[in-house]
Structures are given as C-alpha cells and as structure tokens.
Amino acid sequence: MDYKLAVRDNHTADTIINIAGKAGITRIGKGYCTIIAGPCAVESREKYLEIALKVKNMGAHILRGGAFKPRTSPYSFAGLGVEGLKILEEARDITGLPVVTELMDIRDLEQVYRYSDIIQIGSRNMQNFSLLREMGRVDKPIMVKRGLSATIEEWLLAAEYVLCEGNKEVILCERGIRTFEVMTRNTVDIAAVALLKDLSHLPVIVDPSHATGQRNLVKPVAMAALAAGADGLMIEVHQNPEEALSDGPQSLTPDLFRQVVKEARDLAALNKQIFQ
C-alpha cells in the first residue's frame, strides 16, 4: 500500500483541521459540517464583497473564489489574478471568514500563500506531482480535488505526495468524475465518500456544484453527500447566476443557498445522533 500516510492503519483518529480567523476557529473534519461558499470566480470587488457578506450571514464557514481559473477555452474569463487575491483578503477582513482559492502554477505560490488560508489544488492538477510536493512544504491546509478521471487510489496517492513532504493538513474534495453520462456535468461518486471515511483519516468534502453542473441538483446531491459521511460542502453561490462570468448554471442564488445550509445543518445534527 503506497498511500500509507493517508490511511487509518497508522493514524486511527480522524484528522481535524483548525483554521484560526477573526470570527474564531473554523474546523474541518469529524463532527463538523463545514460549509464553503462563494462564486466560482472573483469577478469584481463590489460583487465579491456583496456575496461574501451574504453567504457569511447565511451560515458559511469559509469563503471560496477563484483568482486564477483553469478554463477549457483560452477565451473564457480566467480570473483577476493578484487583484482577485487582494479582493479575497479584503473579504476575509470584513467577514472574519477564512478563504480558499486555487493554485495553478508554482510561480504564483508566494501570492496565493499570502492571501489565502487554504490552498486548493484543482482537479486538473491532481497529478501535478511537483506542485503537490511543494504543497507538502507549506504550512497551510491543502485541498486536493479529485481528478477528472482519477481512481480513488490515484486520488489518495496525490494526497500522499503532500503528506510525505511533511504537511499533514490535507482535505480531500470529491467533485465528480468524467464517465459516459452526459446529462450531468460529471458523475458524483457518493460511494467514494463512504469508502474514504472508512479507509482514510483525512477530511472529505463534496462539491455538488461542479459535480452536477445544474442548480436544481446541488441540494439533493449535497444532502446525499452528508448522509454518506462527508465532513462538509463546497457550494457556488452568485447573486445573479445568469450574469456570472463562470459556472452560472450551477451557482445557487442566495435564497437557495440559505435553504441548503438549513437542511445541511439539520441532516448533520441527525447524523451525529445516529452515529455517535
């Protein structure tokens, strides 16, 4: 077994990640239903600060937003870069919530490290092994999203690259995999959540937005993920999804997000009663 640090054999207790912020300690791991929310991309200062305050007031624990966006088309909006990172920092100062954003290129590490609390390695970089090794040398939590067609073993081995370099704060994020199905953006692997919670001590969260690509599917898949044992959710929220520069069809409106948070908390509380 090559992913010896990621599995429970030598680490039976669940890893719980603690992130200090102005609003207190945010925890990711066993017993916590951590909600990460925000738009796919930071589009402007005014829009981002507006939605950051909305999701904070509706129960989000962590803000998300892309400053460097990997896009299939070179003509699509690819983020504001360092300007976007500075907007994330301002949102963190105003809301008191920690922020997570994606690192695509090792050349941007210094800036992403400076402005973020959690560094995300996106699905397209899950097997960028030199980047993963570098993440093992930083002192911030790393979220590793599952690759487009990655097996669970390959995903755990990606986490192992970070762990074996010394960084023990790794979060696994299921965001759907590419299959023959075309009616959803990706195929959500709910069984992977239950399997990983049994096999690994690392926190597992699910991104039902990227997993489904459809606004109406986000809530049911989010509930299924929590029922399977997920430690949290990453949800895209935009005040005007039809005007979003990235991933509008899968972004929730604030009102829909409020409903998801309420139902997620109710389900998490029920799970705690059942499985204690």
Are the beta carbons of 253 and 18 closer than 8 angstroms? no
The predicted model gives 232-244 an average pLDDT of 96
Residue 1 inside a domain? The answer is no
DSSP label at residue 7? B
Residue 3 inside a domain? The answer is no
Q: Could you give the percent of the chain with pLDDT greater than 90?
A: 87
Residue 57 inside a domain? The answer is yes
97 vs 269 pLDDT, higher one? 97
Each residue's pLDDT tens digit, 4-36: 999 999 889 999 999 988 878 999 998 799 999
Sign of CA pseudo-dihedral 19, 20, 21, 22: positive
Query: Could you tell me the pTM of the whole model?
Result: 0.95
Residue 23 inside a domain? The answer is yes
How many independent structural domains does the chain possess?
Answer: 1
Range of 62's domain?
8-275
The predicted model gives 221-241 an average pLDDT of 97
In single-letter form, the type of residue at position 193 comes to V
3-state secondary structure 37-96: EECCECCCHHHHHHHHHHHHHCCCCEEECECCCCCCCCCCCCCCCHHHHHHHHHHHHHHC
Residue 2 inside a domain? The answer is no
Residue 57 reports pLDDT greater than 90: yes
State the Cα–Cα distance between residues 159 and 133, nearest whole angstrom. 10
Residue 251 reports pLDDT greater than 70: yes
Residue 161 inside a domain? The answer is yes
State the Cα–Cα distance between residues 187 and 209, nearest whole angstrom. 12
So what's the pLDDT on residue 71?
78
Each residue's pLDDT tens digit, 179-220: 999 999 999 999 999 999 999 999 999 999 999 999 999 999
Q: How confident is the prediction for the chain on average, in pLDDT?
A: 94
CATH code, domain with 61: 3.20.20.70
Q: How confident is the model at residue 135 (pLDDT cuts 50, 70, 90)?
A: very high
So what's the pLDDT on residue 208?
97
State the Cα–Cα distance between residues 134 and 118, nearest whole angstrom. 14
Q: Which of 19, 55, 41, 37 is nearest to 87 (CA)?
A: 41
Q: Which of 197, 140, 191, 127 is nearest to 167 (CA)?
A: 140
Residue 43 reports pLDDT greater than 70: yes
Each residue's pLDDT tens digit, 95-106: 999 999 999 999
So what's the pLDDT on residue 23?
79
Sign of CA pseudo-dihedral 245, 226, 91, 100: negative
Nearest 5 degrees, angle CA 233-CA 3-CA 104? 55
